[in-house]
Amino acid sequence: MSEERPAPYLRRWAFFSGLLVLALAAPAWGAEPGDAARMLFAMEAAYAGVESYTARFARQEVVASALRPREEALVKFQRPERMYLRWIDGPPRGRELLFVRGRDGDRALIHEPGLLSGLFTILLAPDSPRVLGESRHPITDIGLGRLIDLILGAARRAQERGGLTVSDGGLVEEGGRPRRRLEMRVPHGAGPAEDVRRASITIDVGSGLPLAALLSDDGGRAVAEYAYRDLRLNPPL
């Protein structure tokens, strides 16, 4: 005859069994407090194997205290620093830009659409007042590599001050591919700009590269958003 278990024992067994099932079902990433930070800093190594890429680049920023319209451009990038953009949405629609480090005095060639402006190509410094009147960053800050540099630069400054917080925001699926959301907070003065204290970063699980970043101030107000869609790595250019 089998031994009869008291009801309290069975309830405790059911409780601990449930905890075990939840633990086994939970995703491995995020199980340890340092995992989110490790995935953040791993973006650098992931990008080291990228020689070229193409993507649809989108951005929307607060410039001079005003939110600018969203822009979208087709971008081609090749190491060490050769970049071509053609805007397909937003006020600069039709604009083309070519920047090659070491050529044309490290200035960008810009061709604007229009009957008259289309007849000319102008040269602009990457950080010219005209450029910075339309964006928070110089032309040379466009690209996956620079996005990683800006994010990790802020993270390292925050680490030095003992104020870096990185948390795992969970997995999401976009375009049939898994993405990992990371939430980063840094102390005042450590961000890539004076008003940036938070960053929500979307990382492609397969490549380890950031596909989107939403930067916010201490109150949670968005000050800049960047995204790379239809990303193709190492295509022949």
Q: Are 228 and 220 in contact (CB under 8 A)?
A: no
Q: How far apart are CA 220 and CA 237, in angstroms?
A: 39
Question: Mind listing the pLDDT tens digit for each residue in 152-169?
Answer: 999 999 999 999 999 999
Q: Are 137 and 151 in contact (CB under 8 A)?
A: no
Indicate the domain borders of the chain: 35-233
Token pair 């990303």 is found at 231
Question: Mind listing the pLDDT tens digit for each residue in 17-60?
Answer: 443 333 333 333 443 557 999 999 999 999 999 999 999 999 99
What is the pLDDT, as a whole number, of residue 115? 53
Phi, psi angle pair for 164, to nearest 5°: -85, 130
Q: Which fold has domain 35-233?
A: outer membrane lipoprotein receptor (LolB), chain A (2.50.20)
Mean pLDDT of successive 10-residue segments in the chain (237 residues)?
A: 44 41 38 78 97 98 95 97 97 96 96 72 95 94 96 95 93 89 93 90 97 94 97 94
What is the pLDDT, as a whole number, of residue 89? 97
Q: How far apart are CA 146 and CA 37, in angstroms?
A: 19
Q: How far apart are CA 18 and CA 26, in angstroms?
A: 12
Comparing CA positions, the residue from 92, 101, 91, 83 lying closest to residue 142 is 83
